Amino acid sequence: DIQMTQSPSSLSASVGDRVTITCRASQGISNYLAWYQQKPGKAPKLLIYAASTLQSGVPSRFSGSGSGTDFTLTISSLQTEDVATYYCHNYNSAPLTFGGGTKVEIK
Amino acid sequence: EVQLLESGGGLAQPGGSLRLSCAASGFTFSTYVMNWVRQAPGKGLEWVSGISGSGDYTYYADSVKGRFTISRDNSKNTLYLQMNSLRAEDTALYYCAKDRANSIAAAINYWGQGTLVTVSP
């Protein structure tokens, strides 16, 4: 199975800061990588798929990059409504796997 | 509007069984891979199982293989998860989730609100 390692596990940043979350796959997954945002008590929401394609309706301050084993989610200017846990997701082949999550808070 | 409504969760004893259902609407159900993803209390997301649009192909996490069975009834726009030989570690919120395409290699783009399964004596 492909393991997905996210870092950091949590971070605290100020409003307006640039925030970067990384995700590493234990083997190459091309660009079969998605990012999800989950707010407390809510279902996850798709932000990015195919490593860098922004889902319709998602603010442009979110962006994704990477291919193969190393991927990044960037929030260009952190907003209060971005407080959430973010997960990367490998969907290259079954069994599908998720990263452990990154909890983002406001400083 | 895509809607996924899970039901069937509840309290089960270790070794017991439960059957989850997910009623889908707002899209052509038979043309998309569907999945079950779970989240233990306070923990991260874990993919459990997926099924092709026709139902011909099924996929499972190692942790549930041989105990859980995924199926679908395209005439009823409903996804199922039969859960047998339940263990305490199966306790979680179970989400029904729709893929972007009829391929296991497509990201999940819609999630239900989940149904809670608790396995306890």
**Model confidence over B110-119: pLDDT tens digits?**
999 999 999 9
- Whether the CB-CB separation of B61 and B48 falls below 8 Å is answered with yes
CA B50 from chain centre, in angstroms, equals 8
Q: Does A69 touch chain B (CB under 8 A)?
A: no
Contact call for A49 and B105, based on CB within 8 A: no
Low-confidence residues in chain A, pLDDT < 70: none
* Residue whose tokens read 């079969």: A32
The pLDDT of residue B103 is above 90 = no
The pLDDT of residue B104 is above 90 = no
Q: Does A35 touch chain B (CB under 8 A)?
A: no
Pairing of strands A102-106, A10-13: parallel
Please report the residues numbered 41 through 80 in chain B whose beta carbons come closer than 8 angstroms to any beta carbon of chain A. Answer: 44-47, 50, 59-62
Burial class (CB in 10 A: 0-12, 13-18, 19+), A89: buried
The per-residue pLDDT for B102 is 84
Of B61, B108, B110, the CB nearest to A95: B61
Q: Provide the mean pLDDT of chain B.
A: 96
* Residue whose tokens read 């296991």: B104
Helix (H) or strand (E) holding B50: strand B45-51
